[in-house]
Amino acid sequence: MNEKVLTRYFDIPHLYNIDVYLEKGGYEAVRKALKLKPEEIIEEVKKANLRGRGGAGFPAGLKWSFVPKVDKPKYLCVNADEGEPGTFKDRFIMSHNPHLLIEGIIITCYAVDIHLAFIYIRGEYEKIARRLESAIEEAKRKGFLGSDILGSGFNLEVVVHRGAGAYICGEETALLESLEGKRGHPRLKPPFPASVGLFQMPTVINNVETIANVPLIILNGADWFLNLGKPKDGGTRLFSVSGMVERPGVFELPVGTPLRKIIYEYAGGIKNGRKLKGVIPGGMSAPILLPEEIDVPMDCESVFNKGSMLGSAAIIVIDESVPIIEVLRKVTKFYSHESCGQCTPCRIGTSWINKIVERIASGKGGKGDIEEIERLALQIKGRTLCPLGDAAAMPILAIVNKYRHELEAMLPQ
C-alpha cells in the first residue's frame, strides 16, 4: 500500500485552518460518532485493534473499556510530550492537521463520557501549542467544542498544557503529576490511571497518533482499518526515520511493513553508499538490531519476537562510520540525565554506567569494564518503579552484547 490515510491531506496548504479542513470532509467523523451510542464507538475501536502509538502498544479500545462508569469527573490526557529520542511524528500531525487530533479527542471523550481533555505538549513545541490553541478556538466557534456540541447535548472543553522539558513527563503517571502542578515523578501502578488518574479521577491517556486514528476508524469502519495492517495490529504507522539514510523523514506505511523496505526503499538506503551497522527500530529505548536482523515486519508482535520493540516507531539508522562507543555514550548520557531519581537502581545505575562508558571512550577503560556495565544494567532491569529503568537497561545490554568485540578492542588486553 502506498496510499496515505492519516496523512492523506497533509500536503494541502493551510490544512490547519478549519475551513480548509471542512472542505476535505473534516468533522464528518464527529457528526457520525455523535449519532452512535458511546459503547458502539468503544466496540468499533476495540475491533479495529488500534494499538497505542506512544510506546507500549496497548490496545486503545480495551484501555477505554477499563474506565469505570461512575458519576465522577473523568479526564482524557493526550500525550504530546514526544520525548523519545528519534521520534518526530506527533509534531507532524499536530502542525499539519490539528483538527484531526481534535476530532479524535471529541470522539474519544464522547465514547468514555469525558468532558475535559488536556493535551500535554512538550514545551519546545511552542509554535505547535499555539497552533493547537487556535484550532481549538476555531472548533469552538463552529460548535464542535464547548457546550451542546452540534445539538447533541454533549459538552467538552480542551486545554493545551505545556511541559517543561523532562523526558520522564512523557511517562503517563509522571505526566499526571506534572499536570497536577507537581514534580514529574512516576506513580506506582496499580492503581492504573483508568481508575485512579488525574486528580485521583478515572483518566484515559493516549498518544497523539493513537487519538488521530480514531476519526478514520469511525468514518471507514474497524474492518477497513484492520485490513490496512495486521490482524492483531490494525492501521498504518507513522515511522520517523533518522540517522544515516538518504531521505530521513516521517513515512506513513501499513503496520507490518518490513524494516528493510522502510530503510532501503522509502528512506533511500544508507547515506553515501556506506554499509549498515545497526538499527534502533522503535526509539532509543528499543534494543538495537544488527543488519542481519532487519527482515522484520514492523508490527508490535514481530519486533518483540526479534528481541526489540516497535515502541514509538522511530527508526534510527547507524552506519559503519559510527563507533559503537559513541552510540553507547549517547544512550547512557541520556538516561542518566533523565532518570527522575526516585529509585536507587535507576538513579545510581544509569550514571554509574555512563561514567564507565565515558572512561572507555576516553581510552582509559579497564579490564572487566564491560562485565561491570552488564552487571549494573541487570541490577536496573525489572527493579524499578517505572519503565524508564528497563528502557535504559535493555538497549545498553543489547549494544554490549551485539558489539562486544568492538568494545573489547578499546580495552587493554
- The contact set with ligand FMN (CB under 6 A) reads 52-56, 58, 60, 79, 81-84, 167-168, 170-172, 205-207, 210, 386-388, 391
**The pairing of beta strand 157-162 with beta strand 203-207:** unpaired
In the complex with ligand FMN, the residue whose CB is nearer, 160 or 325, is 160
In the complex with ligand SF4, the residue whose CB is nearer, 142 or 381, is 381
Closest listed residue to residue 171, CA positions, set 199, 193, 200, 202? 193
Residue 53 binding result from ligand SF4, ligand FMN, none, given CB thresholds of 5 to 8 Å by partner type: ligand FMN
Q: Which residue from 389, 396, 400, 403 is in contact with ligand SF4, where contact means CB under 6 A? A: 389
Contacts of 239 (CB under 8 A, 6+ apart): 89, 250, 251, 252, 253, 257, 262, 266, 298, 313, 314, 315
* Helix 344-361 / helix 388-402 crossing angle, nearest 10 deg: 30
Bridge partners, 254 (sequence order): 236
Q: Which residue from 7, 203, 336, 339 is in contact with ligand SF4, where contact means CB under 6 A? A: 339
Binding to ligand SF4 (CB under 6 A) within 348-387 occurs at 384-386
Residue 379 binding result from ligand FMN, ligand SF4, none, given CB thresholds of 5 to 8 Å by partner type: none
363 CB burial (10 A radius; 0-12, 13-18, 19+):
exposed
Q: Does the bond joining 190 to the residue before it have cis omega, within 30 degrees of 0?
A: yes
342 binds ligand SF4 (CB under 6 A): yes
Minimal distance, residue 22 CB to ligand FMN, in Å: 27
343 binds ligand SF4 (CB under 6 A): yes
Residue 52 binding result from ligand SF4, ligand FMN, none, given CB thresholds of 5 to 8 Å by partner type: ligand FMN
Minimal distance, residue 340 CB to ligand SF4, in Å: 3
- Helix %, strand %, coil % for the chain, to 5? 45, 15, 40
Binding to ligand SF4 (CB under 6 A) within 35-94 occurs at none
Minimal distance, residue 63 CB to ligand FMN, in Å: 6
Minimal distance, residue 389 CB to ligand SF4, in Å: 4
Minimal distance, residue 169 CB to ligand FMN, in Å: 8
Provide the mask over 294-333, with x wherever binding to ligand SF4 is found by CB under 6 A and - wherever it is not: ----------------------------------------
Identify the H or E element spanning 319. Answer: strand 314-319
Residue 252 binding result from ligand SF4, ligand FMN, none, given CB thresholds of 5 to 8 Å by partner type: none
Closest listed residue to residue 322, CA positions, set 413, 406, 408, 263? 406
Grid cell of 389 as nine digits: 529503568
346 binds ligand SF4 (CB under 6 A): yes
Contact status, residue 91 vs residue 84, Cβ threshold 8 Å: no
Closest listed residue to residue 51, CA positions, set 253, 275, 299? 299
In angstroms, the CA 180 to CA 161 distance is 11
In the complex with ligand FMN, the residue whose CB is nearer, 58 or 199, is 58
Binding to ligand SF4 (CB under 6 A) within 155-174 occurs at 168
Number of C-beta neighbours around residue 270 at 10 A: 22
In the complex with ligand FMN, the residue whose CB is nearer, 17 or 65, is 65
Length of the chain: 413
Q: By the criterion CB under 6 A, which residues form the site for ligand SF4?
A: 168, 186, 339-343, 346-347, 384-386, 388-389
